């Protein structure tokens, strides 16, 4: 049974597991995941909110007060809102994005999905996303694939795909670094 458990460890994993168990008991995994995804998008899209979340300069009261206003305005309620407030009051808001990532992994595992983290140089078209999903589905034995796509222009081209403990790096940056290293060795 232990081999079937997803790897969510550390402080972020413990928080995510606690929230997952509450959401499972309340039969609200999808709702909690949607609210957490919405909050994660807010943090990713706002430098000010990201600073509030990550900076140790802000006290627990300041974070909780600002967070309550943000959650209210974003329409995030219920278990996800309560979870985020507890995280803020425990001074663990700096790790909330890792907690959300761990929750996603637990929810995907519960649904029989596999989460693939994909890093690309620029946004993929729907056609390319579908092709990538079907290719990954064949590699994972027919499991449904949940893509977590991150755009990073620094990889120049190609993509980096991570599924579980397996990673394939076909980025242009990695290939150029390999050529550069081989040329240094040849001298």
The DSSP secondary structure of 48-106, one letter per residue, reads: HHHHHHH-TTS-HHHHHHHHHHHHHHHT--HHHHHHHHHHHHTT-GGGHHHHHHHHHHH
More confident: 148 or 7: 148
Query: What confidence score (pLDDT) does residue 3 get?
Result: 41
Residue 82 sits in the same domain as residue 19:
yes
Among 107, 134, 167, residue at a domain's last position = 107
Position 8 pLDDT exceeds 80: no
The answer on 57 and 85 residing in a single domain is yes
Distance CA 159, CA 168 (A): 8
CATH number of the domain encompassing residue 116: 3.40.30
101, 117: one domain = no
Residues 120 and 102 in one domain: no
In terms of Cα–Cα distance, which of 8, 30, 12, 16 is closest to 78? 30
pLDDT at position 7, please?
A: 60
Is residue 1 predicted with pLDDT exceeding 50?
no
Domain that holds residue 119: 112-186
Please check whether residues 136 and 56 belong to one and the same domain: no
Q: What CATH number does the domain containing 49 carry?
A: 1.10.520.20
Q: 3-class DSSP state for residue 115?
A: strand
Burial class (CB in 10 A: 0-12, 13-18, 19+), 108: buried
Question: Are residue 103 and residue 152 in the same domain, yes or no?
Answer: no
- Each residue's pLDDT tens digit, 58-69: 988 999 999 999
Q: Say what the pLDDT of residue 32 is.
A: 96
Same domain, residue pair 23 and 56: yes
Same domain, residue pair 84 and 45: yes
What was the pLDDT predicted at 115?
Answer: 82
Cβ neighbours around 83 below 10 Å, total: 25
Dihedral (Cα; 79, 81, 86, 88), 10-degree rounding: 160
Please indicate, yes or no, whether residues 68 and 91 belong to a single structural domain of this protein: yes
- The residues, ordered by sequence, that sit 6+ positions from 124 with a Cβ below 8 Å of its Cβ are 132, 149
Give 133-149 pLDDT, tens digit per residue.
999 998 888 888 888 88
Residue where a domain stops, chosen among 87, 107, 127: 107
Average pLDDT over residues 8-22: 91
Name which of 4-8, 28-32, 179-183 the model is least confident about. 4-8
Q: How much is the average pLDDT of 77-89?
A: 94
Q: Residue holding tokens 């996603």?
A: 104
Q: Do the Cβ atoms of 133 and 145 come closer than 8 Å?
A: yes
**CB-CB contact of 96 with 84 (8 Å):** yes
Whether residue 119 is found in the same domain as residue 91:
no
Among 107, 127, 155, where does a domain finish?
107
Domain match, 29 and 75 both: yes
C-alpha to C-alpha distances, 87 to 17, 42, 44, 92, 131, nearest whole angstrom: 13, 17, 18, 5, 38
Q: Say whether both 116 and 97 belong to one domain.
A: no
Structural domains in the chain (count): 2
**Separation CA 122–CA 171 (nearest Å):** 12
């Amino acid at each position: 049974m232990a081999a079937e458990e997803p790897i969510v460890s550390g402080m972020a994993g413990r928080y995510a597991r606690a929230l997952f168990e509450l959401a499972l008991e309340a039969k609200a995994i999808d709702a909690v995941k949607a609210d957490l995804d919405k909050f994660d998008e807010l943090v990713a899209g706002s430098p000010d909110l990201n600073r509030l979340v990550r900076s140790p300069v802000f006290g627990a009261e300041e974070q909780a007060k600002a967070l309550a206003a943000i959650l209210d305005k974003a329409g995030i309620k219920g278990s996800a809102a309560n979870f985020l407030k507890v995280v803020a009051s425990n001074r663990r808001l700096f790790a909330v994005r890792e907690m959300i990532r761990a929750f996603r992994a637990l929810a995907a595992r519960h649904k029989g999905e596999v989460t693939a983290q994909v890093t690309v140089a620029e946004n993929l078209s729907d056609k390319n996303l579908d092709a990538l999903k079907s290719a990954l589905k064949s590699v994972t034995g027919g499991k449904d694939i949940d893509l977590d796509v991150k755009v990073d222009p620094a990889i120049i081209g190609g993509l980096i795909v991570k599924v579980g403990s397996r990673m394939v790096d076909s980025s242009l940056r990695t290939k150029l670094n390999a050529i550069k290293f081989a040329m240094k060795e040849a001298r």
